[in-house]
Chain A
Amino acid sequence: EAQVTQNPRYLITVTGKKLTVTCSQNMNHEYMSWYRQDPGLGLRQIYYSMNVEVTDKGDVPEGYKVSRKEKRNFPLILESPSPNQTSLYFCASSLYGPDTQYFGPGTRLTVL
């Protein structure tokens, strides 16, 4: 089944404790992206990747890192999480840049 998977689905952590949210797609898509969803703000793009080893900042990249060492994986790294990073995070992939994106199920992160 074609899908985007994210893990974990729920995570509660404390300020400053490094964490990684994994994202994987099995559709051989070139483009992958991370978003955060906050009430009243919609979805905002954090980082995106056009291909392996190519990543670019979205609108809200501060406090996040990403890497794209393999085509199928695009992990989101929070090296020192803070409470303002409490949010719902979505990973997405598409065949190429502006094409239809398919979203993972979301990861609800709470930083205490």
Chain B
Amino acid sequence: AQKVTQAQTEISVVEKEDVTLDCVYETRDTTYYLFWYKQPPSGELVFLIRRNSFDEQNEISGRYSWNFQKSTSSFNFTITASQVVDSAVYFCALSPLTGNQFYFGTGTSLTVIP
């Protein structure tokens, strides 16, 4: 079975706090891609990051960082020093190399309170 679980439905933080969004996935494939997308209140889907299953290096991009751990099948996303503009729904997604389908989690709605 292919599945992505985002157990946190809604999170609220005060501006400047750090926040981590959890993503746990299931797949029988050994080769796959993981993604994070952002959906701001305007509704569009914005690509944030792609990670392949062979690359477990953590990645940092400005205030954003991603922690990929194959041992726990997790691909967590941390926002450091959150800002109001980070308020959005964030989706984690899985795409196994075989099968050509995409599987999205149910999303985490993040609200950053000024």
- Which residues of A does B touch, CB under 8 Å? 31, 33, 35, 40-45, 48, 50, 56, 58-59, 88, 90, 92, 97-103, 105-106
- Establish whether residues A103 and B45, one from each chain, have CB atoms under 8 Å apart when the complex forms: yes
Instruction: Contact check, A98 vs B105: say whether CB atoms are below 8 A apart.
Output: no
Smallest CB separation, B3 vs chain A (Å): 11
**Is B43 within 8 A of A44, CB to CB?**
no
Q: Is the CB of A42 within 8 A of B47?
A: no
Chain A positions within 8 Å of B35 at CB level = 100-101
A10: shortest Cβ distance to chain B, in Å?
11
Counting residue pairs across A and B whose Cβ atoms lie within 8 Å, the total is 58
**Could you tell me which B residues sit within 8 Å of A by CB distance?**
6, 9, 32-33, 35, 37, 43-45, 47, 50, 91, 93, 95-97, 100-107
Per DSSP, are chain A's interface residues mostly helix, strand or loop, or mixed?
strand
Query: CA of A56 to CA of B100 in the docked complex: distance in angstroms?
Result: 9
Query: What is the chain B residue whose CB lies nearest that of A43?
Result: B104
The minimal Cβ–Cβ distance linking A66 to chain B, given in whole angstroms, is 14
Query: Do residues A101 and B33 form an inter-chain contact, with CB atoms below 8 A?
Result: no
Residues of A within 8 A of B93 (CB): 43
Contact pick for A106, options B44, B50, B97, B103, CB 8 Å: B44
